[in-house]
Amino acid sequence: MSTKGEDVFRKIVAHCKEYGFIFQSSEIYDGLSAVYDYGQTGSELKKNIMDYWWKSMVQYHENIVGIDSAIFMHPTVWKASGHVDAFNDPLIDNKDSKKRYRADVLIEEYVAKIEDKIEKEVEKAASRFGDKFDRNMFIETNPRVVENKQKIEQIMSRFVKSLEANDLKDVKALIEELGIVCPMSGSRNWTDVRQFNLMFSTQIGSLSEDASLVYLRPETAQGIFVNYLNVQKTGRMKLPFGIAQIGKAFRNEIIARQFIFRMREFEQMEMQFFVKPGEEKHWYEYWKEHRMKWHTALGIPASKYRFHDHDKLAHYANAAADIEFEFPFGFKELEGIHSRTDFDLASHQKYSGKKLQFFDPVTNESYVPYVVETSIGLDRMFLAIISNSYNEETLEDGSERVVMNIPPALAPIKIAVLPLVKKDGLNDKAREIFDYLKYDFMCQYDEKDAIGRRYRRQDAIGTPYCITIDYDTMQDNTVTIRERDSMQQDRIPIEKISEVVAKRIDIRKR
Ligand code: GAP
């Protein structure tokens, strides 16, 4: 992460705590690593992101329905899904620092440094040649760039080959040959690489022999697959159709850092779209485009997002891409769109012995549907929103403010109701307005401190509108409405407040 990125990220984390967005879990006991709680402001924002996703997937699509499946599932589910055997991270320890790393991350970081070198070379040349600079030509012909690109290719192809063959000795050999050192101790004193399963387990039943091992689900998707037939039959669903779900997932992440980017307990919003075999590529493209639109409809610049198409596909996928977001620590995965073939349903069919098929009344045949999945981390989406919203501004009068430019539709509090002073009946009038607005909008009433300070507090939690009740209000039933981003203030009648705010927070009006 660049120093500037680190600095911004540190400020965002501190801001999240100061304004009740996110707290470290069990903080009074010094916290629990990679587990977080959402506070009074954060839980509202999280709920709004959830609603935005649920509406766009379930409410706006006639052929998508939602479910809410249990976290505990039959242990064989995880055997059939491949998680028991293959949901692993390759880990390596440094014997001097006693720090544990993911071997793939060490190698990827090494490769990222070579990529940085290439980029610097390109930037240098671009500034030397000015308008005449041909980036592609330079990358293809400059000897240093070509050499570095070949180096990356060699490293990655060897690494992928070793991982696929589960040749962990060669992964260690590669780390040693590349001279990768521990960032803490600076030493190359590594242990062997070994696989570590990421699922948490516990036991159901008493402590006696009849207790059986169960896992805390590492993804919500399997709860959808095992309910495919239930939903298809009881909902009389025809292909193509989707099942959506929002829920908790758990992974024993070893390298859990970067705040809520990688957590041990997190939430996913997943949708499995069941299609006729052969039509999956069409739907894969449809969902890639549709999901990108969902992101950009929030008004966050399109340049903050990019697709990363996977070159190396999981054995069950025939296409996969990530939507990456530019976090303060660089572009990273936010959402995955995967064409998963019939792998999951066919595997559950095999392990359960139950037919998980669709009878096609047009062709008179039965088959296992193919699946296109969209999977986004709710917490990661939260981090994307707050990272993009955090802004420090110097105002015309030289004063400073921190404002969260949260997309108004997602803002935790939509309207702050503020009496100019808490006397002469202004506070009673403000309460009356608050009581009227609260049925339609999440509102906050605040009468403490000077009005300027109250505006700053609302800016800091991203409230799009502040309504101020002053002495004129008592005469003519008008209020001042202040818009967060422009800080522009207008005078409007009380009965217009709902209309003005509703228009601005409606995502369809964007
Ligand atoms: N069912 C597919 C699946 O689970 P994944 O790429 O492992 O795919 C999907 O996860 C999304 O879940 C990721 O794009 C990310 O947004 C989120 N996610 C995964 N692991 C996470 C973690 N440890 N903490 C927070 N979010 C996570």
User: Is the CB of residue 15 below 6 angstroms from any atom belonging to ligand 1?
Assistant: no
Helices (H), 19-99: 42-54, 75-80, 83-86
User: Is the CB of residue 221 below 6 angstroms from any atom belonging to ligand 1?
Assistant: yes
- Shared-domain flag, residues 274 and 227: yes
pLDDT at 207: 63
The answer to the question of residue 83 being in a domain is no
Q: Which of 251-255, 415-419, 420-424 has the lowest mean pLDDT?
A: 251-255
pLDDT at 1: 62
Distance of CA 253 from the midpoint of ligand 1 (Å): 11
Distance of CA 202 from the midpoint of ligand 1 (Å): 22
User: Is the CB of residue 333 below 6 angstroms from any atom belonging to ligand 1?
Assistant: yes
- Shared-domain flag, residues 235 and 354: yes
The answer to the question of residue 208 being in a domain is yes
User: Is the CB of residue 121 below 6 angstroms from any atom belonging to ligand 1?
Assistant: no
The answer to the question of residue 82 being in a domain is no
Q: How far apart are CA 474 and CA 384, in angstroms?
A: 43
What is residue 83's three-state secondary structure? Answer: helix
Distance of CA 490 from the midpoint of ligand 1 (Å): 44
What is residue 289's three-state secondary structure? Answer: helix
The mean pLDDT value for 127-155 works out to 91
The answer to the question of residue 404 being in a domain is no
User: Is the CB of residue 381 below 6 angstroms from any atom belonging to ligand 1?
Assistant: no
* pLDDT of 191 above 60: yes
For the segment 277-305, what is each residue's pLDDT rounded down to a tens digit? 999 999 999 999 999 999 999 999 999 99
Q: How far apart are CA 194 and CA 480, in angstroms?
A: 64
For residue 251, the ligand 1 atom closest to its alpha carbon is 23
- Shared-domain flag, residues 318 and 448: no
pLDDT at 2: 63
* pLDDT of 509 above 70: no
Distance of CA 98 from the midpoint of ligand 1 (Å): 27
Ligand 1, residues 268, 269, 376: which to mutate, most atoms within 8 A of Cβ? 268
- Shared-domain flag, residues 9 and 138: no
Distance of CA 268 from the midpoint of ligand 1 (Å): 7
User: Is the CB of residue 253 below 6 angstroms from any atom belonging to ligand 1?
Assistant: yes
CB 366 within 8 A of CB 395: no
User: Is the CB of residue 379 below 6 angstroms from any atom belonging to ligand 1?
Assistant: yes
pLDDT at 508: 74
The answer to the question of residue 176 being in a domain is yes
Atom 17 of ligand 1, residue of closest alpha carbon: 377
For residues 275 and 7, the model is more confident at: 275
| Boundary of a domain, candidates 178, 197, 216 | 197
DSSP 259: G
Atom 19 of ligand 1, residue of closest alpha carbon: 377
pLDDT at 316: 83
User: Is the CB of residue 339 below 6 angstroms from any atom belonging to ligand 1?
Assistant: no
* pLDDT of 132 above 90: no
pLDDT at 154: 94
The answer to the question of residue 43 being in a domain is yes
Q: What is the mean pLDDT of the chain?
A: 94
* pLDDT of 3 above 70: no
* Candidate ranges 7-11, 67-71, 182-186, 258-262; pick with highest mean pLDDT: 67-71
User: Is the CB of residue 267 below 6 angstroms from any atom belonging to ligand 1?
Assistant: no
**Main-chain phi, psi angles of 71, to 5 degrees:** -75, -40
User: Is the CB of residue 219 below 6 angstroms from any atom belonging to ligand 1?
Assistant: yes
- Shared-domain flag, residues 189 and 97: yes
Ligand 1, residues 245, 266, 374, 382: which to mutate, most atoms within 8 A of Cβ? 266
Query: What percent of the chain has pLDDT above 90?
Result: 84
Atom 12 of ligand 1, residue of closest alpha carbon: 377
* pLDDT of 209 above 90: no
- Shared-domain flag, residues 371 and 241: yes
Helices (H), 132-277: 135-141, 143-164, 168-177, 221-225, 228-234
pLDDT at 503: 93
For the segment 198-207, what is each residue's pLDDT rounded down to a tens digit? 999 999 887 6
The answer to the question of residue 108 being in a domain is yes
- Shared-domain flag, residues 478 and 430: yes
Atom 4 of ligand 1, residue of closest alpha carbon: 219
pLDDT at 86: 87
Band (463; pLDDT cuts 50, 70, 90): very high
Band (125; pLDDT cuts 50, 70, 90): very high
For the segment 351-387, what is each residue's pLDDT rounded down to a tens digit? 999 999 999 998 999 999 999 999 999 999 999 999 9
* pLDDT of 389 above 60: yes
pLDDT at 80: 97
E strands, 194-329, in order: 194-197, 200-204, 212-216, 241-250, 265-275, 305-309, 319-327
**CATH classification at residue 100:** 3.30.40.230
pLDDT at 240: 97
- Shared-domain flag, residues 133 and 254: no
User: Is the CB of residue 240 below 6 angstroms from any atom belonging to ligand 1?
Assistant: no
* Tally of domains within the chain: 3
Residue 318, classified by CB atoms within 10 Å of its CB into exposed (0-12), middle (13-18) or buried (19+), is: middle
- Shared-domain flag, residues 348 and 360: yes
- Shared-domain flag, residues 188 and 205: no
- Shared-domain flag, residues 447 and 379: no
Domain span including residue 354 = 1-76+200-398
Ligand 1, residues 81, 246, 333: which to mutate, most atoms within 8 A of Cβ? 333
The answer to the question of residue 403 being in a domain is no
Question: What does the longest C-alpha to C-alpha distance in the chain come to?
Answer: 82
User: Is the CB of residue 335 below 6 angstroms from any atom belonging to ligand 1?
Assistant: yes
| Boundary of a domain, candidates 197, 216, 239 | 197
* pLDDT of 22 above 60: yes
For the segment 50-92, what is each residue's pLDDT rounded down to a tens digit? 999 999 999 999 999 999 999 999 999 999 999 999 898 899 9
**CATH classification at residue 462:** 3.40.50.800
- Shared-domain flag, residues 240 and 388: yes
**CATH classification at residue 386:** 3.30.930.10
Distance of CA 49 from the midpoint of ligand 1 (Å): 16
Band (6; pLDDT cuts 50, 70, 90): confident
Task: Give the angle subtended at the CA of 327 by the CAs of 393 and 245, to the nearest 5°.
Answer: 120
* pLDDT of 510 above 60: no
Band (149; pLDDT cuts 50, 70, 90): very high
| Boundary of a domain, candidates 338, 369, 398 | 398
For the segment 25-44, what is each residue's pLDDT rounded down to a tens digit? 999 999 998 999 999 999 99
pLDDT at 41: 98
Q: How far apart are CA 430 and CA 496, in angstroms?
A: 15
* pLDDT of 165 above 90: no
The mean pLDDT value for 220-234 works out to 98
Query: What percent of the chain has pLDDT above 70?
Result: 97
